[in-house]
């Protein structure tokens, strides 16, 4: 059994569900043929940021009703349970689901109903992580941090356990969102930050680890470039949510064999393998572990240690 720590709600649905929800809701898609649609929206090495955003625009287009959100949350849990995962942490930005007027309560409640039903039916455990959008204003992310804090403290059944910073990293420094993260941390939420995912973002990664004291870092691929920061991450016990396939798609590494996960692991950094976007990156945690073993040189014992790191870094204990 294993814990999946880094999975986006809007990037991990079943392709068949995407088509069905679009047909049912009268929503326009580039194609209604699942195979053809997948070939158009799935991430590819060398894709542009526009293509990446267009893929999320497609998935989000069907995620504007409580039924759709709840069903997708449920199915993500069920799919992961069927892959041998017993704990999943699902991240999303509630603001992205208000295109047809849904209120925050309806959105957060829909995710909760989906994961609760999966917990009941499958036995999996799941929680929610809110993701602030790094291109948003500071005020907007502070508002989201306030909402996350409310659910974390006042509505524990909703299992809002963490706060994240996500979306395009280039030229969007994390320090713009300092106050939001202070609000979240003061409320007792755990912190993860997408950082060190694009060229030139080492300063952002340094800030996320040293100043924001993130419990976990999404990607953190550039950590390998700073020996002192590696030592700091080790001392603080920062867990790196490592998404190898996703890193090839976004271009921070050119080839799987170049990925620094094994060098970081050997240096003593806590590495947890994750899928990031099961649909759009066409991967699973199990597949990422296979890549780690067959391409990156992790041994079976190494991977057992990584699975232990994942378990220990859960936001929902």
Among 4, 142, 197, 288, the one annotated catalytic: 197
Query: Cβ closer to Zn ion: 89 or 276?
Result: 276
Q: Which is nearer to Zn ion, 113 or 177 (CB)?
A: 177
Place of tokens 């590494």: 253
Distances (CA, A) of 105 to 25, 118, 254: 22, 20, 42
Half-sphere exposure of 63 (CA within 13 A, CB side): 28
Q: How far is the CB of 314 from Zn ion (least distance, A)?
A: 17
- Least separation in angstroms between residue 193's CB and Zn ion is 11
Give me the residues that bind Zn ion (CB under 5 A), please.
218, 276
Using alpha carbons only, give the angle 89, 240, 42 rounded to the nearest 5 degrees.
65
Strands ordered across the beta sheet of 270-273:
2-8, 85-92, 125-133, 160-166, 190-195, 216-219, 239-242, 270-273
Neighbours of 289 (CB within 10 A): 17
Q: Which of 15/168 has CB closer to Zn ion?
A: 168
| Nearest one of 255, 181, 195 to 223, comparing CA atoms | 195
In whole angstroms, the minimum distance from the beta carbon of 303 to Zn ion comes to 21
Distances (CA, A) of 253 to 21, 47, 51, 199, 216: 35, 13, 18, 9, 21
Min dist. Cβ of residue 108 to Zn ion (A): 20
Phi/psi of residue 56, nearest 5 degrees: -65, -35
**Do the beta carbons of residue 130 and residue 93 sit within 8 Å?**
yes
Pick the closer one to Zn ion by CB: 276 or 302: 276
Q: For residue 50, indicate whether it is catalytic.
A: no
Closer to Zn ion by Cβ: residue 9 or 18: 9
Minimum distance from CB of 88 to Zn ion (Å)?
14
Q: Of 135 and 294, which has the nearer Cβ to Zn ion?
A: 135
Lookup result for tokens 């694009």: 198
* Cβ 113 vs Cβ 158: under 8 Å: no
Please state the closest distance from residue 166 (CB atom) to Zn ion, in A: 6
Q: What are phi and psi of 206, to 5 degrees?
A: -60, -45
Q: Helix (H, G, I), strand (E, B), or coil: what is residue 196?
A: coil
CB closest to Zn ion, residue no:
276
Catalytic residue numbers? 197
């Amino acid at each position: 059994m294993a814990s999946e720590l880094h999975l986006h709600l809007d990037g991990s649905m079943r392709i068949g569900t995407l088509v069905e929800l679009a047909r049912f809701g009268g929503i326009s898609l580039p194609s209604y043929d699942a195979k053809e649609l997948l070939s158009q929206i799935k991430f590819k090495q060398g894709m542009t940021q526009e293509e990446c955003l267009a893929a999320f625009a497609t998935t989000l287009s069907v995620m504007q009703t409580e039924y759709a959100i709840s069903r997708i949350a449920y199915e993500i849990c069920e799919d992961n349970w069927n892959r041998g995962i017993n704990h999943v942490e699902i991240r999303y930005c509630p603001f992205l689901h208000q295109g047809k007027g849904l209120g925050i309560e309806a959105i957060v409640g829909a995710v909760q109903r989906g994961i609760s039903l999966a917990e009941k039916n499958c036995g999996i455990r799941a929680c929610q992580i809110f993701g602030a959008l790094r291109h948003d204003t500071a005020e907007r992310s502070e508002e989201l941090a306030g909402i996350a804090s409310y659910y974390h403290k006042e509505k524990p059944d909703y299992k809002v356990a963490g706060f994240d910073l996500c979306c395009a990293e280039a030229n969007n420094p994390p320090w713009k969102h300092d106050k939001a993260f202070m609000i979240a941390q003061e409320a007792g939420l755990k912190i993860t930050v997408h950082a060190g995912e694009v060229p030139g973002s080492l300063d952002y990664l340094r800030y996320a680890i040293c100043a924001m004291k993130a419990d976990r870092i999404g990607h953190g691929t550039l950590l390998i470039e700073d020996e002192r920061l590696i030592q700091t991450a080790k001392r603080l016990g920062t867990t790196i949510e490592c998404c190898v396939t996703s890193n090839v798609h976004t271009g921070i590494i050119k080839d799987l064999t170049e990925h620094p996960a094994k060098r970081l692991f050997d240096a003593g950094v806590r590495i947890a393998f994750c899928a990031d976007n099961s649909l759009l990156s066409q991967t699973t945690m199990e597949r990422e572990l296979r890549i780690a073993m067959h391409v990156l040189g992790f041994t079976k014992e190494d991977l057992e240690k990584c699975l232990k790191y994942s378990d220990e870094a859960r936001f929902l204990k």
